[in-house]
Amino acid sequence: MDPNVLTDEAATIRTEISPRPASSGGDWGRSKAPKGRLLSPPSTASGVAAVGRAMTVLGAFRPGDTALPLRVLAARTGLYKSTILRLLASLERYCCVRRNADGSWSPGPMLLHWGSLYVRGLGLETLVQPVLDSLTEATGQGATFWVKLDDERRICLYRAAPPRTLRVAVQAGDMMPLGSAATGRVFAVWDPAAGEAAEAAPEVPAGGYPVIATQGSRELDAAAISAPVFQPGRVLCGALTLSGSNERLWPEVERVKPLVAEAAAGLTRALGG
C-alpha cells in the first residue's frame, strides 16, 4: 500500500535513510550495508496498524455482499468514516476495491488475482476437482474441498454442485466457522494445531478410511459426510465433504460414506500422504 496515502489517522509515514559517516566504534559502522544494496526502512507501529485497518475494511465484505455504503463499512469495522475513506483511496489505487456510481464500494479485481495465485500455488485443482465432480455425479449431492483458514474459520477451495440443485449454498472462496458439523470435526480431530485439544478419532474398520457424518449440526435440515485428506508425513491437507439435505442425504448415509472415504483415500495417495 502507498505510504503517502494510507495513513494512521492524520500522520503520513515517511522514512528516509540519509548517508551518515561510518564510525569505527558505533553501531552504524558495524551495520552499514555493503555498497550497492538498499537498506530497508524500519517498520513502525503506525504502519503496521494502517495495514491492519486496511485488512479490516476488506474483511467487512461478506458472502453475498456486492456493494457496501460507507455507513455499513463504518458499522462493521468500528473505524471513523474519515479513516475508512483514506484507506479506501489507497485500496482503490491498487484495485483492491472499486467505487460505484452511487458512492458505495465493492471488492476489486486484484483480490481475485491474488486468490487465483494462492489456489494455483497449491497445485491441487487438477487432482481435487475431478474427484469432486465424480463424487457429485455418483451421489447427486454437492461436494466441496475445505482448508483451514485460522483457528476459527475454514474456506472452500473447490466446489462441485449437484445437477438438480436449485441454489448453490456454498461456492469456492466462501468462508465458514469451523463449527461442529462434519467438516469442522475433521479439523478438530486431525489438524496438528489442535494438539492435546484434538478430538478423538472415530473408529475405523480394519482396512477402512476415516469418515465423519453429521446431521443438523450447522443447519437443522442439512447433513454432511466428511473425510480428511493428507499430505506427505500424514499432515492434514484439507477436508473432502459431501453435503445435502437431511431428507435426501441421511437415508443414503451408509451407502455414501464408503464413496467419500474412497475419494479421500485416493486424493491422499495422489498427494503422497
Q: Give mean pLDDT, residues 241-270.
A: 92
d(CA 186, CA 172): 19
Which bin fits 80, alpha (ψ -120 to 50), beta or left (φ > 0)?
beta
How far lies 261's CA from each of 94, 160, 237, 239, in Å? Answer: 43, 17, 15, 11
215 or 2: which leads in pLDDT: 215
SS3 94: coil
Burial of 88 (0-12, 13-18, 19+ CB in 10 A): buried
Residue 93 parent element (H or E): helix 81-93
Q: What is the reported pLDDT for 45?
A: 59
Phi and psi at residue 16, to the nearest 5°: -120, 140
100 or 38: which leads in pLDDT: 100
Helix axes 109-122, 125-139, angle to 10 degrees: 90
Would you say residue 87 has pLDDT above 90? Answer: yes
DSSP state of 36: T
Q: What is the reported pLDDT for 115?
A: 82
Q: Which residues contact 130 (CB under 8 A, 6 or more apart)?
A: none
Q: Within 13 Å, how many C-alpha atoms sit on residue 125's CB side?
A: 8
Write the pLDDT tens digit of every residue in 160-192: 988 765 455 788 888 889 988 999 999 999 998
Please, are residues 77 and 60 in contact by the beta-carbon 8 Å criterion? yes
DSSP string, 162-227: -TT-SS-S--TT-EEE--SSHHHHHHHHH-GGGGGGPPPPPP--TT----EEEESSSSTTEEEEEE
Q: Give mean pLDDT, residues 60-76.
A: 92
Residue 52 parent element (H or E): helix 45-58
Q: What is the reported pLDDT for 13?
A: 34
How far lies 176's CA from each of 59, 111, 112, 233, in Å? Answer: 13, 19, 19, 27
d(CA 30, CA 4): 31
d(CA 109, CA 117): 13
Of 86-90, 123-127, 214-218, 240-244, give the lowest mean pLDDT range: 214-218
Please, are residues 215 and 268 in contact by the beta-carbon 8 Å criterion? no
Q: What is the reported pLDDT for 194?
A: 75
